[in-house]
A and B are shown apart, each in its own frame.
Chain A
């Protein structure tokens, strides 16, 4: 009876944990006993764990992470600072919307990774080039979500502000921006993923340090365990950042937070 209750209470966590463990165990067992394939082309969890232990001890991993983070933070910060106001103004001013729309639609739809070489040529192989790529990839979710947020602003609330004699500035600060925040945070979650792609592509393409460079170098030299360490670290970072954005939404939009909890 006790075990049943425990299971019912932690079902989500238990099942998730179980599925991950099973996958890793299956992977390990298959490659150890059933198909002992060439470790040069295939790797398994125990080897990855070993490589991980090794890398955590050395300075290179931390250096690479620091390099990549710096480029990411610069690019992402600019995406926030530029993307949100542009989206807000586009949503509120028809003229701005119609003027910018063709560029934004085209840029958002195309695989922007294609312009990576151009950016590296223009901005160099250092932090600047990578930050520019991160910016280019992550600015669009901010623009489009801020835009969509403004468009979905309740007309009634606009009338309320106007009826009390509120100015244009009041409309922005007291209604449009707050009602857009949940949209912006949702955009930030998308932007995190796209920004990480920017970093990795930049470092794959031209770099001498950074986590993307480490992955690509490990791949080039057939060090599969090292490569997987890089990939795993990246996914952990992606998950942590995305979760942070969710927490941010709960802090910035408590009225929505409690709605979610209730439903």
Chain B
């Protein structure tokens, strides 16, 4: 059986007029099953985000093949949606209008849009803030809008590019718990890029550790923690064991500067 997401030998080089070309990804391969939650960790600049952007359809690899459900990815499509690190909300749109953006671009009629938006705003717990503008929201609320917007178009794959990196530690813990809940309910396939070993271990079925640039797969770790997971689980010896396993793999790839 073919895997749901299949990346084979992806190579992507960033060329620039002023600087040396940079090989972001080199022969990167990855397979993800339907409904799986997979995190990608790796040193800064290893091409994690680049990989998500290829999967999203915004970047084209020089070589290699990216397939979703057996079909090659040719560009952006409704099956995939991204939650961006810096939220990417349109500042001139209210919460509701931001959530409706993807639906609007798909040409969904207004009545259906607002109904769907209302459901998702409820799902992410933003009732009462429909008419607020992004600048009136906290970071955590902004990312809830980002998540609702991505889910609104009912994608099969949710791509998350360090979605909680811009949030404070407590908000981050809260958002992780809520993401797990929402994931449990919606059964999306999630590809989650993060710098945080703890976050990767807590959320994922599998953690992909990438090498330093040019990024390749260094190791794949299965996280055998039972679900549903809760915050207390993070205090167990088992969880710490998993974290240190990931760390052992990752630390060989970290440059002296990033080890400090």
Contact = CB atoms under 8 A, between A and B. Distances in A.
- Chain A partners chain B: yes
Interface of A: 156-157, 159-166, 170, 174-175, 178-179, 181, 253-255, 258-259
B101 A163 contact: no
B86 A179 contact: no
B171 to A, nearest CB: 21
B88 interface: yes
A157 B87 CA distance: 9
21 contacts: A156-B84, A156-B88, A160-B84, A160-B90, A162-B58, A163-B76, A163-B82, A164-B76, A164-B81, A164-B101, A164-B102, A164-B153, A165-B75, A165-B106, A170-B105, A174-B90, A178-B92, A253-B92, A255-B91, A255-B92, A258-B136
Nearest to B87: A156
Contacts of A174: 90, 101, 104-105
A175 B90 contact: yes
Interface residues of B, number: 25
B133 A255 contact: yes
Q: Chain A's interface: helix, strand, loop or mixed, by majority?
A: helix
A253 B90 CA distance: 12
B135 A255 contact: yes
Interface string B77-102: 11001101010101110000000011
Contacts, number: 60
A18 B77 CA distance: 64
A179 to B, nearest CB: 7
Contacts of A162: 58, 76
Contact of B78 (A165, A170, A258): A165
Contacts of B133: 254-255, 258
B140 interface: no
Given A165-B76, A179-B92, 8 more contacts: A163-B57, A164-B153, A165-B77, A165-B106, A174-B104, A174-B105, A178-B90, A258-B133
A163 B84 CA distance: 11
Contacts of A179: 91-92
A259 B58 contact: no
